[in-house]
Amino acid sequence: MSTTNFCPMCNNLLYHKEDRENRILFNVCKYCHYKVEADNYCVYRMEIQHQPNERMQTLNDAATNPNLPRTKDIPCPKCNHKEVALLPSTSRREVGTNQSFACCNRNCGHRWTE
Ligand SMILES: [Zn+2]
Ligand SMILES: [Zn+2]
């Protein structure tokens, strides 16, 4: 997802190097020690913040997560609440096959897949 950069001096691949003290990301060349401040800092921040458990966190907070799309067309089969969240598929295999839902009723939180 991050753009690939090449060293303008020797055309080798540039590597990301973090200056932890100043919280700056550099693109560095291992061969000629060319070094430039990375301009795609946003990408870098996203990579750092994307922890392995982030996805689980999203799913656990489904009922209260405002970032998830919601629908009022499908009532919860358990409590009949009129607003449910559409959960992202849990694996690539499931894309286009089943849609998972989570009830937005905090006291219910029922989840199901159709
Ligand atoms: Zn170089
Ligand atoms: Zn419910």
Domain edges within the chain: 1-46, 62-113
Tell me which CATH code domain 1-46 carries: 2.20.25.10
**Ligand 1 geometric centre to CA of 47 (Å):** 24
Rounded-to-5 percentages of helix, strand, coil across the chain: 15, 25, 55
Per residue in 30-49, pLDDT (tens digit) is: 999 899 888 655 454 555 55
What are φ and ψ of residue 18, in 5° steps?
-95, 130
Fold for 62-113, please state it: N-terminal domain of TfIIb (2.20.25)
Q: Which residues surround ligand 1, an ion (CB under 5 A)?
A: 7, 9-10, 29, 31-32, 34
Res 1: pLDDT: 40
**Comparing 1-46 with 62-113, is the CATH topology the same?**
yes
Res 87: pLDDT: 84
Residue 96 has pLDDT above 80, yes or no: no
Res 9: pLDDT: 92
**Ligand 2 geometric centre to CA of 84 (Å):** 8
